[in-house]
């Protein structure tokens, strides 16, 4: 079936608060869509403001400017139907801002006129979302007629529930357009397509799904826009992590893309998130510590692939504990990547610190205090270079370490972005292997991948001195953090009771550390600081 309706899917990368910039981009895409013969051009949820504006929505000037931007878009809509996300403000009472109701909205514009305004019905208030804090819930989804076709418009969460699409179908909708800002996590793309297909089949409608792309703080939006026909078949799918305008005529069939593997999903998500975090926040270069270990190696490669080798500085900061192999591996990695490499030994500073603390530490046994001094010296040096030259410090700790507190406050946790802090250690290895396989060479030296991991803060130290093997640790952490399983439920899976209890205790008692860590990029279903929000002071235990 063909309705001879050509939809332009504007999978754009909006910047939160960049109202003028976003509007110029929207207008440019509209002009291109008209030139290419599209009947309708659709933009993502809150395309004008960027997603999510959070407390910018409490500023009257921000809301007014957003409405003014919609007016600019209206002026370029001659000859094409434009559907775009914005914030609608409906006044009541004395019309002061405190009496204004805000709606997560979509404007339908044609020939210079706003012909319909659609408000979001289901406001998500779980995991990373808190839309009920800002927006008013709509009571009735909208439909409109365009060139003989009845079209329903809904917004993101609305398509995940049956009622909105069913209502729009009952009003004659033949096509349903969904404007989304759906953030990425591994496996979510397949989940979305399944939901969209189900809605299309249930209501015998075409479903046009347009998703935001780009990084925003700790979130990354993957795009993955698509068109589903009345049989639930994917007619068109846009590539993920790419900003571009795509045209599709309903009823036609375009070749489908090869699905990304989970490793590829995480790799491309981290690249996009890092690039946007750096560029949108006005940084030029990044700096990171190179320990000779796998976490810093992976982080360095991601920085190079996202930003270019000329914008990455790697710093080796060896102490008397640092092995010859680690120093060699850090150097070889930097040579392989072609980045600026600096070596700043910390032994003299470390000895000076111990001498300064000699009286205070007298009569005590050497422990983590001395070990962590080394990490904090390194953090200080990186931050000094950041302050002097304007570099962004990218930390290198992974999710497994952060979960159990195997990280040093104001040391290896010091920086501006914790790039891989939602990547479990086992996935760090998979990403490293993927990077070398796709390159066809050992960008990451093979010894870095094969050697036993160590923080190298004391002689002979190995991660397994303090932690179970990472494959075991990561499965326990996933059960507890992402699946919200109790201790008893995890033990019932066959894990040792003592190990499970120790790991869960460490997760719970290191919340204070995670509260002080830099933002990290969410790639799993439950990330620290975004989806998982636990109190620091907390005596609950399910042991």
Contacts of 360 (CB under 8 A, 6+ apart): none
Q: What angle do CA 166, 176, 210 make, to 5 degrees?
A: 130
Of the candidates 416, 538, 540, 423, the residue with the CA atom closest to the CA atom of residue 474: 423
Residue 217 marked ligand-binding = no
- Is 289 annotated in a binding site? The answer is yes
CA neighbor of 423 nearest in space, from 444, 447, 448, 403? 403
Catalytic residue (choose from 34, 45, 116, 275): 45
Which uninterrupted H or E stretch holds 30?
helix 19-35
Q: Is 158 marked as binding a ligand?
A: no
The whole-angstrom distance between residue 383's C-alpha and the CA centroid of its chain comes to 24
226 belongs to an annotated ligand binding site: no
Q: Is 68 a catalytic residue?
A: no
Burial of 196 (0-12, 13-18, 19+ CB in 10 A): buried
Nearest of 454, 498, 453, 461 to residue 476 by alpha carbon: 498
Name the nearest CA neighbour of 47 among 90, 105, 102, 103: 105
In the residue annotation, 120 being an active-site residue is answered as yes
CA distance 107 to 86: 7
59 known member of a binding site: no
Tokens of 335: 């040579």
- The token duo for 456 is 């190298």
Ligand-binding site membership of 431 (annotated): no
Helix (H, G, I), strand (E, B) or coil at 119: strand
- Ligand-binding annotation for 440, yes or no, is no
Whether residue 292 is annotated as binding a ligand: the answer is yes
Asked if residue 415 belongs to a known ligand binding site, the reply is no
One DSSP character per residue, 54-102 reads GGGGG-HHHHHHHHHHHHHHHHT-TTSEEEEEEEEEE--TT--GGGPEE
Closest CA to 300 of 292, 291, 311, 312: 312
319 is in an annotated binding site: no
Structure tokens at 78: 């001659």
Which residue in 218, 222, 214 sits closest to 276, CA to CA?
214
DSSP SS3 for 380: helix
**Does the annotation flag 253 for ligand binding?**
no
Which of 25, 116, 118, 120 is catalytic? The answer is 120
182 annotated to bind ligand: yes
Distance CA(335)–CA(330), nearest Å, equals: 9
List 69, 156, 165, 240, catalytic entry = 156
H/E element, 399? helix 399-404
Please tell me whether 352 is known to bind a ligand.
Answer: no
- List the binding residues for deamido-NAD(+): 372, 401, 513
- Binding-site residue ranges for ATP: 289-296, 396
Catalytic residues: 45, 120, 156
Annotated binding site: 126, 182, 188, 289-296, 372, 396, 401, 513
């Amino acid at each position: 079936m063909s309705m001879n309706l050509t939809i332009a899917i504007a999978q754009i990368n909006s910047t939160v608060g960049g109202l003028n910039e976003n509007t110029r981009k929207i207008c440019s895409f509209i002009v291109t869509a008209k030139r290419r013969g599209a009947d309708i051009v659709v933009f993502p949820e809150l395309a004008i403001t960027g997603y999510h504006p959070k407390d910018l929505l409490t500023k009257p000037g921000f809301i007014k400017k957003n409405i003014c931007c919609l007016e600019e878009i209206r002026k370029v809509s001659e000859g094409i139907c434009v559907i775009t996300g914005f914030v609608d403000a409906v006044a009541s009472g004395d019309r002061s801002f405190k009496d204004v109701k805000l709606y997560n909205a979509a404007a339908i514009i044609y020939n210079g006129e706003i012909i319909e305004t659609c408000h979001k019905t289901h406001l998500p208030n779980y995991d990373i979302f808190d839309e009920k804090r800002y927006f008013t819930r709509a009571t009735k989804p909208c439909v409109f007629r365009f060139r003989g076709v009845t079209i329903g418009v809904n917004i993101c969460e609305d398509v995940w529930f049956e009622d909105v699409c069913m209502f729009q179908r009952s009003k004659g909708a033949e096509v349903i357009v969904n404007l989304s800002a759906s953030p990425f996590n591994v496996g979510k793309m397949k989940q979305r397509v399944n939901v969209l297909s189900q809605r299309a089949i249930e209501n015998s409608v075409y479903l046009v799904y347009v998703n935001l792309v780009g990084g925003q703080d700790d979130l990354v939006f993957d795009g993955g826009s698509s068109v589903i026909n009345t049989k639930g078949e994917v007619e068109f799918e846009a590539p993920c992590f790419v900003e571009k305008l795509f045209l599709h005529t309903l009823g036609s069939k375009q070749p489908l893309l090869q699905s990304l593997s989970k490793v590829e999903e995480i790799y491309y998500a981290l690249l996009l998130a890092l690039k946007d975090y750096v560029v949108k926040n006005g940084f030029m270069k990044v700096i990171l510590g190179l320990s000779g270990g796998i976490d810093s190696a992976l982080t360095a490669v991601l920085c190079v692939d996202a930003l270019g080798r000329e914008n990455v500085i790697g710093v080796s900061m060896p102490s008397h504990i640092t092995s010859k192999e680690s120093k060699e591996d850090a150097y070889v990695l930097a040579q392989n990547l072609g980045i600026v490499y600096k070596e700043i030994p910390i032994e003299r500073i470390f000895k000076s610190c111990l001498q300064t603390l000699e009286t205070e530490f007298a009569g005590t046994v050497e422990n983590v205090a001395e070990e962590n001094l080394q990490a904090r010296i390194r953090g200080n040096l990186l931050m000094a270079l950041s302050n002097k030259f304007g570099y962004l410090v990218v930390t290198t700790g992974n999710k497994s370490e952060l979960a159990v507190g195997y990280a040093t406050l104001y040391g290896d946790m010091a920086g501006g972005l914790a790039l891989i802090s939602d990547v479990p250690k086992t996935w760090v290895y998979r990403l490293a292997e993927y990077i070398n396989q796709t390159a066809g060479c050992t960008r990451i030296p093979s010894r870095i991948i094969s050697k036993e991991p160590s923080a190298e803060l004391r002689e002979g130290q190995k991660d397994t001195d303090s932690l179970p093997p990472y494959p075991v640790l990561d499965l326990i952490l996933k059960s507890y953090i992402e699946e919200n399983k109790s201790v008893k439920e995890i033990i019932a899976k066959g894990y040792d009771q003592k190990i499970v209890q120790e790991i869960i205790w460490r997760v719970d008692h290191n919340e204070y550390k995670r509260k002080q860590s830099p933002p990290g990029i969410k790639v799993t279903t439950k990330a620290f600081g975004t989806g998982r929000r636990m109190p620091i002071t907390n005596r609950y235990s399910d042991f």
